[in-house]
Every structure is written in structure tokens, then in C-alpha cells.
Structure 1
Amino acid sequence: MYSIAVDIGGTNIKAAVLDDDLNIIEYVKIPTPDNIEVLIVDEVHRLIANYIQQHELTSPFIGISSAGVVDSKHGEIVYTGPTIQNFDGTNFYRALSDLSNHIKMYNDVDAALLGELAFHHYDEENIFCLTLGTGIGGAFYNRDIGLYPGERHRANEIGYLLYRAEDDKTFEKRASTSALKSLMLKHGFEFETEVPKLFELAEEGHTQAKAILNQWAAYVAEGIAQIQIMYDPGLILIGGGISAQGEILLKYIEPKIHDFLPPDYGVARLQTTQTENNAALFGAVSVK
């Protein structure tokens, strides 16, 4: 039996038809509309309706993953800040009710963590997933209780940590991949915002590349120290496109975490995610 998954981001919307083994049968990616002249919820409805018609489905299971603070119980976007305009209050369960009565909705990082866990087993009981991208997102999973959303669905919004008045920046403004690119431009890096090239040159001993990475990695490490103190996870997974750097990424971050913790405090095992681009799509339909 086929399910339909949709992943809504600030830049693109991905949609896919998947079978029960989470194999992608069909896939499409479109630019996220401005949500003023063309509404995101209307585009999502159109994509799903097309798949239902094309594959002759009747009330299929639909999984929605979205950026922002998501009320999974009611299928509603609670808060998105500046990420997506005009999105707060959008209710997907109501908007898609004519297509199916089997719908689940998740925050995108929650969905990505579920997608990772659908394909890879981890021994740890408590897992925190940190995604580094345009912004920074978080998700927390306990083997017994599952995902932890918080009282107002705002748990794990770690990008807002570590605000400092002197530079008017939060954790994500210093430590996201976007922040790394800004550092590269600020320091006049020869290859501008080509992040893979930065890592490549740093590994070759390029002085400027190493300095930029070390500065940025210290910002990431400071946030991870806060995660360690608040959640005490057994495993911290780092996701987002930059996680493709794998052990090289961890090599810059991991030693610096101890600089922001009391002596001998201890820190969780650190690993990059193994599920690549479509983890949130897989996760959105992995639990029915």
C-alpha cells in the first residue's frame, strides 16, 4: 500500500509516494511559494491530489513534515518566525480532510530523526538530533516515550539559545551553515561560500580555512554543550547538508565541547546522520 509524504521547507517543497518498505515510488521537488499570492497549503493539496489520482488511491496515509513549530495533535503551524511568511495558524488536517482521514504532521527535524531511526538502529535510549542548515533545529527522542514536543510544542527550538546583546545573535545566527558562509565571506575566503572546498583546504593545512572552521566549530560546540546539560542524551546526531563531511566535521567540533562544560562533566557520543537528503520524507510516514 502506498503512502504520500510531503516535506515543507523555506526554499523547497518535496513530495513523494512511498511503499510500505519506504521505497520512493515517485518524487517531485518544487520551489516553496511566497505564501501570499500562492499559498503553501494549496500547493501541498495539489501535489497530494495529483498523486492520489495518478495512483488511484483511496484515503491514503499522508505524512507532512514542515519547518516551524508544529502542533502535531491538531495538524497546525504554531509559529515560524521569519522562516515562512503568513504561515502561522495554517491547519493541514482541515485543509487536506477531503483527501484522506489518515494524516500525521511533524516538525521537520522531528520527521528527519524518525526517518533516521527507521533505517538505522542505535543502542542509546535518549537521542538528540541537531540539524545545521539555513538555521538550526533540534529534536529529542526517548525509546519509551518517542518524540518529546514540549508543553506548547516548542521544545528543542535550540536555535534561539545563547542570545547575546553585544552582537544581537543567537546560536543559529553564529553556528548554522548560513553563519559559516557569512564567516567565509567576512574573511575573504578565496572560494567564497563553497563549504566543501573550505573543508578540503583545511584538511590540506590551509591556514585561513582552518581558522574559519575552528571559529565556527567553537560556536557549534558551545550550543552542543547546552544540549548536553539540558537533555543528557546518550547520542547527539548532527544532520543537515554539512553532515556529509562526516568524521572531518566532528574532528573540528568534538574537542571544543569540553571548553564549555565543567571539568569531567562528560558528553554524549557524537555522530553525523546516516540517512541523506530525504530523511524527513521517510520519517513523516514511518509511524502510522
Structure 2
Amino acid sequence: MTKYFLAFDVGGTTIKYGLLDEQRQISATGHCSTEHNQNNHILKQLQLITADYQQKYNLAGIGVSTAGIVGVAGQIQYAGPTIPGYQGTPLKASLAQQSGLPVFVVNDVDAALLGEQLAGAAQDKTSVYCVALGTGIGGAYLDCGQLLNGAHATANSLGYTLYDPQTKTNYEQRASTLALEQQLIAHGVSVPVAFERARQHQAPFTTLIATWAAEVAAGLANIILLFDPELLLIGGAVSQQGEFLLQLLKQALVQQLPPDLCQTELRVAQLADQAQLFGAVAKFYN
């Protein structure tokens, strides 16, 4: 009988879920709203979906990728205001008690990195730093199979770095995809359209995209200098800009690093919005 692992990806507004089999094929996917976690809605939904899938399939384990900082007991150690009442939720203990199955709970950026190493762009690397560009900027570092999150599980909080006292902004306020979107409002275009026009050398998009890429590269340069990873992986929806984005970042890094120092390879993520589902259950494939 085929064994399946049930994977969840809990975000600020949506819970995604699906099954992965022993050949790492994904199926039976679905999604539902978090309902702003009213009355502990997220945990209740995970329990309902788990019960439903456990009746229908031969489950061997459950993995949860989630926003927020995950504690050592698989609980939500810290959650921001985007998910009210989420902090302290005992995800691992509750799902393990209900199902009788092993449960793995991991932060969503960590999960994206684990997913890319399991089935995506980082399969051939053991030292990988992942930078997720989106509404904010998150980081994750995997070295020799170990996620390195610091003594208090708050390491790799990239978005809060590089504070500039003159503009009173931090890294993610200048370099996130949201920051770029806000700059493009006046021009009435989306990020993908702006990139397409930059490819065509249209003003002012060539300059806008290059300036934003330089802001992103400032954070990447620090990662390279501090950690010297084998691979630096760029995730988030903007990673779909592929080689064009990589070339912009590489050009900007030349201006920010000592000549001939950088040996880290840059790649974009491959699994898009499925990376967290793969990463949620990656532990079960080791």
C-alpha cells in the first residue's frame, strides 16, 4: 500500500495542503482561508483536514510549514500581527496526539529551503542560504543538513538588518518585492510588467529595477561575507524573473564585494509556491 505524507503550508491568509508519496509526487492538493485565525481557526482546520485525509489515505507522517517562529516543541514561539492569536499554538503536540503520527513543524522560509534541497534548485548542494523576497524578506541557512536558526530561533531575520538612520528604513523596507511594488504605483504597472519593460530597455523601468536590485544585493553581499555558502538561492514570486534577475544581482554584487572574493553560486528557486509543501515533509525522506 502506498504511503503518503500530508503537508500543510500556513500563510497569513491561506492554508495550502497536499499529499506527497514515496516518489515525491504531489497530489490531492487543496486550500482554505485562515479566517484571520478567529477562534483558533488554523489549528481547527489542520485537525479537520488531517482527520479527513487519514480516513482516505495511508498516512505515514504530517508536516507543517508555517509563518512565524517555531519553537523546539513544534509550537508557534512568535507570530506577528498578520495572524492574530497564533502565538503559542501547539501545532505539533495537537496533531501528533490526534493522529498518532510523527509530526514535523518548520518555519515557512526554512521549509522553502528544505523543499528546494529535496526536489528543486538546491538538490546538489549541502551549504545553502535562501533569501525569500516578498512582502518582507526572510532568510534560511542550511549547512551539512542542519538548519541554523540561532540560540533563540530568531537568526536569519534579514528584513530587520541594514537599518539606515537617515531614511529610518531597514533592509526589507527598501528591498522587498512590496517595496518595489510601491515604487511602481506611480507608473501604473505591476512588478512582472516592470521587469518585462526593463528587459526591453524602456525608461524609467531599467533604472528602477536596477536600483532595486542593488538594494537586494546589499543584503546578499553581507550573507556571502558572513556565511560563504556554496549556493545562495533567491526565492519568492520575483524569482520567476530567472536569469535576468540573476544577472542584475550579480552586476550589483560586483560593486559591493572585493574583486575575485565571491565564489558563492547564485540561483533562483524552482518549485515556486509548492516549495513549502515539499519542505514541510522533507524530514521524512532523510
Normalised by the length of structure 2, the TM-score is 0.91
The answer to whether 1:139 aligns with 2:140 is yes
Aligned in 2, Cα 1:203/1:171: closer, same or farther, shift over 3 Å? same
Corresponding residue for 2:176? Answer: 176
Q: What pairs up with 1:6-85 in 2 under 5 angstroms?
A: 6-55=8-57, 57=58, 60-71=60-71, 73-85=72-84
Q: 2:223 aligns with which of 224, 227, 231?
A: 227
One-letter amino acid of the counterpart of residue 131, structure 2: L
Whether the 8 Å CA contact 2:47–2:98 is kept in 1: the answer is no
Whether the 8 Å CA contact 2:18–2:29 is kept in 1: the answer is yes
Q: Distance in 1 between matches of 2:39 and 2:204?
A: 44
SS of structure 1 residue aligned to 2:282: coil
Output the aligned Cα RMSD.
1.8
SS of structure 2 residue aligned to 1:46: helix
CA drift of 1:31 comes to 2.1
Corresponding residue for 1:89? Answer: 88
Alpha-carbon displacement from aligned partner over 1:84-138 (angstroms, at most 9, x marks no partner):
2222111112221212331011111111111111124555441101111121111
One-letter amino acid of the counterpart of residue 49, structure 1: A
The answer to whether 1:207 aligns with 2:208 is no
One-letter amino acid of the counterpart of residue 274, structure 1: Q
CA drift of 1:199 comes to 0.8
The answer to whether 1:283 aligns with 2:247 is no
Unpaired runs of 5+ in structure 2?
Answer: none
CA drift of 1:249 comes to 0.9
How many aligned positions are there? Answer: 280
CA drift of 1:20 comes to 1.2
Alpha-carbon displacement from aligned partner over 1:66-91 (angstroms, at most 9, x marks no partner):
111112x3001111233322221111
Q: Distance in 2 between matches of 1:68 and 1:163?
A: 22
Whether the 8 Å CA contact 1:22–1:286 is kept in 2: the answer is no
Q: What pairs up with 1:101-180 in 2 under 5 angstroms?
A: 101-120=101-120, 122-143=123-144, 145-180=145-180
Instruction: Work out the percentage of aligned pairs sharing the same amino acid.
Output: 38
Aligned in 2, Cα 1:122/1:104: closer, same or farther, shift over 3 Å? closer
Q: Which has a greater percent of helix?
A: 2
Whether the 8 Å CA contact 2:221–2:257 is kept in 1: the answer is yes
SS of structure 2 residue aligned to 1:18: strand
